[in-house]
Amino acid sequence: MEEAPVLTMTTIRSPLGELRLYAAIDKLAGLYLPGQAAPPGVERHVDVLGYAAAQLTEYFAGQRHAFDLPLAPRGTGFQALVWDALTRIPHGETRSYRELARSIGRPSACRAVGAANGRNPISIIVPCHRVVASNGELTGYAGGLAAKRWLLDHERATVDRPSGVRVAPRR
């Protein structure tokens, strides 16, 4: 079995409180909101954490609608499929669990999609907050429903603003 790399981490301030960012070597491996259980990590600067912090600052300022970061979420093949589909939900929009299941070619897998969504280790950047119940109601969010509501309201308020300049991280 492959061993997980030692994670490096940093903490940044946000309108939601302190966010904990984690990197596995040179890729973003986690973003955890206040109150979320997070893995242990060694506090140290690595470039990808700096890029992520800068892009999150732009996002919270309403200047960024999409993220451009190398990602390394750890999960099953099915979870990775769901997480990839999450990244295709446009800023300011939502999808139901049913719509997400259909988008990955698994229309009867709504519950499994919900479970994978709930295990997303890179909140906000992999936008699991954009998934709602079929009736449009907010459902569980690892960062709490108040954070989910704030993120959705923030995105709706900034959807018509031009997105900030996207600079790809140096590789």
Sorted by sequence, the CB contacts under 8 Å of residue 45 that are 6+ apart come out as 8, 10
**Residue 168 pLDDT class (50, 70, 90 cuts):** very low
Whole-number average pLDDT of the chain: 89
For residues 46 and 92, state if they share a domain.
no
Look at 45-54, 116-125, 160-169 and tell me which has the smallest mean pLDDT.
160-169
Q: Residue 89 CB: number of other CB atoms within 10 A?
A: 19
In whole angstroms, what is the distance from residue 69 CA to residue 51 CA? 7
State what percent of residues in the chain have pLDDT above 70: 91
Inter-residue contact 39 to 30 (CB < 8 Å): yes
Residue closest to 14 by CA, chosen among 2, 36, 1, 32: 32
pTM for the whole structure: 0.87
Q: Among the options 128, 132, 142, 151, which is catalytic? A: 128
Would 109 be classed as within a structural domain? yes
The mean per-residue pLDDT over the stretch 2-14 comes to 82
Inter-residue contact 133 to 139 (CB < 8 Å): yes
Retrieve residue 23's tokens.
């990197």
Q: Say what the pLDDT of residue 156 is.
A: 94
Span 58-84, pLDDT tens digits = 999 999 999 999 999 999 999 999 999
Is the per-residue pLDDT at 154 higher than 60? yes
For residues 49 and 19, state if they share a domain.
yes
Is the per-residue pLDDT at 150 higher than 60? yes
Would 2 be classed as within a structural domain? no
Would 89 be classed as within a structural domain? yes
Number of compact structural domains in the chain:
2
Domain that holds residue 101: 77-158
Annotated catalytic residue 110: no
Q: Say what the pLDDT of residue 161 is.
A: 53
Inter-residue contact 41 to 7 (CB < 8 Å): yes
Last residue of some domain: 60, 86, 104? 60
Is the per-residue pLDDT at 18 higher than 60? yes
